[in-house]
Amino acid sequence: MRLAAAAEAHGAGLFPDDDCTSVGMGAGSLSFATGALPLASSIDWSRVHDVPTALVTGTNGKSTTVRLLAAMAQAAGRTCGISTTDWVRVGETILQRGDYSGPSGARLVLRDQRVDLAVLECARGGLSRRGLAVRKARAALITNVARDHLGEWGVNDLEALADVKFVLARAVEPGGALVLNADDPVTLGRASRYDDDPRVAWFSRSASNEVVARALARGRGAAWQAEGALWCCMGGERARVIGLDEAAFLFGGAATHNVSNALAALCVARALELPWSAIRNGIAGFASDPSGNPGRLNRFEFGGVQVLCDFAHNPHGMVPLLDLIRALPARRRLVILGQAGDRDDHSIRELARLSAQAQVDRIVLKEMPEHLRGRASGVVVAMLAQELARAGYPAAQVELAADETDAVRRALVWSRPGDLLLLLLHAQRQAVLDWLAQLSREGWEPGRGEPPPPARA
């Protein structure tokens, strides 16, 4: 407690756990064994300080936005530490692999003395169970609030879910930025609560969005899409940042969810005082590929067949992907569909209804044995098939697969040049991405029978 009081007095964070306790952040951190803490008076507090930190939460888009911000920071010559659902990374070095979107991942980042800027993903589960890892941040972003994981940890409706995500607002220091989505209905429902808060910056894909227009008129921060480009105004500085056709992961603006992610990142990056040039270069060079952003709109090409792989796992995340594949030219379109057993019936059925409405040419329903989560084998797939039939989707265009790898194999066998495949990957995501990379290296092309099986690890 004396160490905590001393850290507070010196304006530094304190980060304890069972094994290690640290004061300060990143390059300004000192760490000690929790069982052998020093006297506060013995610490050289001149070496202890915090680093600029941003927090990111939301139903969808968290990991991509965190990694995009890291690319901007790298372009600015900063050593950025990030924690996400896939890993903890400092600069280009991955410290740990796995889901580190909670406080433990944040502590790993903030104890690394190479870090001079941190961007921390704050997922719903970690917030519900353990709260925030930091008491103050330069910026916080809430990407969106939509139905997912309802019924867990006492969160049974959207308003309660929003309460969890808006915990981040409490950490934003005076002069910082709370970045909110002016296109998100749940967030907009809370706009009046933050109308007089000078920290708030809004983003929207529409230049005519009333909330964004009001923010700009009042000298507040905002980012928006207009005239085929991304624009931002923060701290009174207004800039056309980059054209929609200058960054591959935006698909010329057709990937609307990534446009939103990029707009949000603009506001956060300026709050972190990154220069416009680095922000632009970070967006332009951002590679949403399996190595840098696994499972987030990763793209492969096999003899004229376009393959898009994504982690979308709820209706809110599905909508922009289905819009995207309808916007892209293709002879035929296929979607792989499945869901974990811990989602409610409404959300599972909604995935099928959306896919049926998209009028794709084939749907492969995958069993997910690793993610049954309380349901018997076959129940989720049967629910999806039933809802497809109810929506009028032809049964002859539905195929069943034993697992994710089998679903991808069936999709590849079905494909022909000119087709577009949307592979929604969850349970065996990394194995499938590795397999697709293997097929690309080996030059496999559709129409030549079964693809070679995945190489053994």
Model's pTM, two decimal places? 0.93
CA-CA distances (angstroms) from residue 97 to 83, 89, 429? Answer: 10, 9, 14
Any idea of the CA torsion for 344, 346, 348, 349, to the nearest 10 degrees? 160
Residue 435 lies in a domain: yes
The angle subtended at Cα 71 by Cα 198 and Cα 58, nearest 5°, is 50
Considering the domain architecture, whether residues 168 and 305 belong to the same structural domain is answered as: no
The predicted structure's pLDDT at residue 151: 63
Q: SS3 for 376?
A: coil
Do residues 409 and 270 share a domain? no
**In terms of domains, do 70 and 219 share one?**
yes
* Strands, E assignment, 305-397: 305-310, 333-337, 362-366
Say whether both 269 and 359 belong to one domain: no
Q: What backbone torsions phi and psi does residue 224 show, to the nearest 5 degrees?
A: -155, 165
Specify the DSSP class assigned to residue 10. T
| Predicted local distance difference test score (pLDDT) of residue 146 | 87
Other beta carbons less than 10 A from residue 135's beta carbon: 12
Write phi, then psi, for 285 (nearest 5 degrees): -95, 0
447 in a domain, yes or no?
no
Q: Residues near 397 by Cβ (< 8 Å), separated by ≥ 6?
A: 361, 362, 363
Q: What angle do CA 382, 403, 360 make, to 5 degrees?
A: 65
Domain boundary pick from 260, 284, 308: 284
Q: Answer yes or no: do 265 and 329 share one domain.
A: no
Inside any domain, residue 455:
no
- Tell whether 338 and 271 lie within a shared domain: no
What is the spatial distance between Cα 251 and Cα 453, in angstroms, rounded to a whole number?
31
- Whether residue 424 is contained in a domain is answered as yes
Whole-number Å distance between alpha carbons of 21 and 231: 42
Closest CA to 50 of 131, 120, 108, 134: 134
| pLDDT lower than 70: segments of the chain | 148-153, 457
Count of beta carbons in the 10 Å neighbourhood of residue 350: 20
Does residue 454 lie within any of the structural domains? no
Same domain for 172 and 119: yes
Assess whether 258 and 232 both reside in one domain.
Answer: yes
Of the candidates 284, 310, 327, which is a domain's last residue? 284
Q: Give yes or no: residues 90 and 232 share one domain.
A: yes
CB 124 within 8 A of CB 164: yes
Does residue 42 sit within a domain? yes
Contact 358, 391 (CB under 8 A): no
**Per-residue pLDDT, 430:** 93
Q: What is the pLDDT of residue 375?
A: 94
CATH of the domain at 120: 3.40.1190.10
Look at the chain and report how many structural domains it folds into. 3
Residues 258 and 352 in one domain: no
**Same structural domain, 190 and 305:** no
In a domain, 365, yes or no: yes
- Boundaries of domain holding 403: 298-442
**Pair (26, 93) in one structural domain:** no
CATH number of the domain residue 388 falls in: 3.90.190.20
Taking the C-alpha atoms of residue 188 and residue 182, their distance in angstroms, rounded to an integer, is: 6
Helix (H) or strand (E) run with residue 177 in it: strand 172-181
Out of 222, 253, 284, a domain closes at 284
Query: On the CB side of 132, how many CA atoms lie within 13 Å of its CA?
Result: 21
Contact 124, 149 (CB under 8 A): yes
**Would residue 452 count as lying in a domain?**
no
